[in-house]
Chain A
Amino acid sequence: MNNELTLQELRDRVKAAGITIPDNRLSMVRKLLSDALVHVRALDSRAIKTVEPAVRFEAGHE
């Protein structure tokens, strides 16, 4: 997977989400998301120990 979020991919995501982002803000949003995504995209999800968000239930509690 390419680690960089392309402008076309960003436009596709905007369309799929059903929102509007003005053209003059696309580069700002692209940088914001790209910086955050780079490590997630580099992650081999098969190679790391399974980690899941915990949901705990205790007897006697709601």
Chain B
Amino acid sequence: MSDAIAYATIRELGARYRARQLSPVEVTRALLERIEKLDGALHAFITLTPERALADARAAEEALRQGDGRPLLGIPVAHKDIYCTRGIRTTGGSALYADWTPDTDATCVRRWQDAGTVLLGKLITHEFAFGLQFPGHRFQPARNPWNPAHIPGGSSSGSGAALAAGLVHGATGSDTGGSIRGPASFCGIVGLKPTYGRCSRAGVLSLSWTLDHTGPMARTVEDCAYLLQPLAGHDPADPASSPALVDDYVAALGRDVRGVRVGVVRNYFFEGVDPEVERAFEAAMATLRQLGADVRDVRIPSLAASPSFMLIMLAEAYAYHERDLRDHPELYGEVLRERLLAGALVTGAEYMQAQRIRSEICRETAAVLREVDVLATPTSPRPATPFAQAQDPDFGFPRSNTPPFNITGSPTLALPCGFSSSGLPLSMQLAGRAFEERTVLGLGHAYEQATDWHKRRPPV
């Protein structure tokens, strides 16, 4: 299979399908061969579904013959393995669910299926979307295609690795403290954490109810917009789902970004940032200025308290896992188990104070977003961490730039903005007002069109 097909955009694949230059079955077979060849070293997939993929591809081929115009028709995708898939095992990256086969699809899975996608399989996740896969764990961790000695980020690790390696054309991720944007940053791809309530969480294993977001991961901003479209919209099966109207996300791309007000949040996000990350980010802001954006500095003082979000996440995660932790502690990875147990040590008053801090951060962020249209920061303070460091059981959670926008629920797009001297991808994130995904996608797309970071390929 040529790299041109493996890395084709959704628009390009659709055009070639409709010009009868390619067929979904051909592309699916070629991708299955590519996965067979490359994934032995990458471990992005935990379950492959070749028969299902070929059946989906044949159905797409028939629909194309009938003139079906759906943009995702015949597009090969895979789901993070915390999304329930009917008749296909869903492990959560955990020994606890290693043999569990759900009898229903998550809403997001069904919506992509209804949009005509081809399901290639399930992608490895950090255990329960939280812990790393340490040596001795039931499942192998995914490797970073840019350098297999480094982590691909997590917890949507397989999604990031598979996209960077050209194994899929779209993937789902989930983001509780940065699990879409982190892998997007470390793997040099694009990830969108939509507004809280924009995409359904129904049928997706929970980590923390008030912080969990589902969303698409892709290689370009336009692909992300195509993939978001069917996912967005009210779902009565998700109590947090919003009835807010859904925009046409692809139509929002390509608009003039002159005058768009971009606020660079100068406090919190630049503490301890790697100089190469900072240089790449400042160069990205210069590019946005050249495109006509009004880039200015802003401050959100309450963000200093954002690490308290961990109290919310730990307490909610413990509430979700309490019974299994008591009944089957041996089925949890050792380090994850103790991190989840830490949630039992958070008092009710501490949980509530953390929620009050969260409200203050939301209030201040909303006030700043009345002065600017988009907030910009580096996605990660540093490039991808080496496995040798991340798999030290005492390795904590390093300071992270992603949780503030889980706290606020803001739509936030991570996209490539450079490379380190060691060849690892660097990324920036753009956050907008609630339900204004179109704004961050539009600005991200304009930046992407002015640069070529998204065209670089890892040495797989």
Contact = CB atoms under 8 A, between A and B. Distances in A.
Bound pair: A and B?
A: yes
Contacts of B394: 27-28
- Interface of B: prevailing SS: helix
A38 interface: yes
B304 interface: yes
B344 A51 contact: no
A52 B360 CA distance: 11
Contact of A37 (B335, B341, B350, B397): B350
How big is chain A's contact interface, by range? Answer: 20 to 34
A39 B360 CA distance: 13
B11 interface: no
A55 interface: no
Interface string A1-38: 00000000010011001010110010111011101111
Given A39-B304, A40-B308, A43-B357, A32 B344 contact: no
A27 to B, nearest CB: 7
A48 B304 contact: no
A53 interface: yes
B345 A40 contact: no
Given A13-B345, A14-B345, A48-B360, A36 B307 contact: yes
B345 A28 contact: no
Contact of A39 (B305, B341, B344, B346): B305
B356 A51 contact: yes
Given A14-B345, A17-B344, A45 B353 contact: yes
Given A32-B396, A36-B308, A39-B304, A25 B335 contact: yes
Main secondary structure of the interface of A (DSSP, over half): helix
A48 B356 contact: yes
Contacts of A13: 345
B360 A28 contact: no
B314 A40 contact: no
Nearest to A54: B359
A31 B339 CA distance: 11
B355 interface: yes
Interface in B335-354: 335, 338-339, 341-342, 344-346, 350, 352-354
Nearest to B339: A32
B393 interface: yes
A27 B304 CA distance: 24
B310 A32 contact: yes
Contacts of B357: 39-40, 43
Interface residues of B, number: 29
B308 A39 contact: yes
B393 A40 contact: no
A35 B353 CA distance: 15
Contacts of B354: 36, 40
Contacts of B304: 39
B342 A32 contact: yes
A45 B355 CA distance: 12
B420 to A, nearest CB: 26
A23 to B, nearest CB: 11
B98 to A, nearest CB: 24
A37 B311 contact: yes
Contact of B338 (A17, A28, A40, A52): A28
A29 B338 contact: yes
A10 B393 CA distance: 19
A18 to B, nearest CB: 8
A32 B396 CA distance: 7
- Which A-B residue pairs are the 5 nearest by beta carbons? A36-B310, A39-B305, A51-B359, A17-B344, A25-B338
Given A32-B339, A40-B350, A51-B356, 13 more contacts: A10-B345, A21-B338, A28-B394, A32-B342, A35-B307, A36-B310, A36-B354, A39-B307, A43-B353, A45-B353, A48-B356, A51-B355, A51-B360
21 contacts: A13-B345, A14-B345, A19-B344, A21-B338, A28-B335, A28-B339, A29-B342, A32-B310, A32-B314, A32-B339, A32-B396, A32-B397, A36-B310, A37-B350, A38-B308, A39-B308, A40-B357, A43-B356, A51-B355, A51-B359, A52-B356
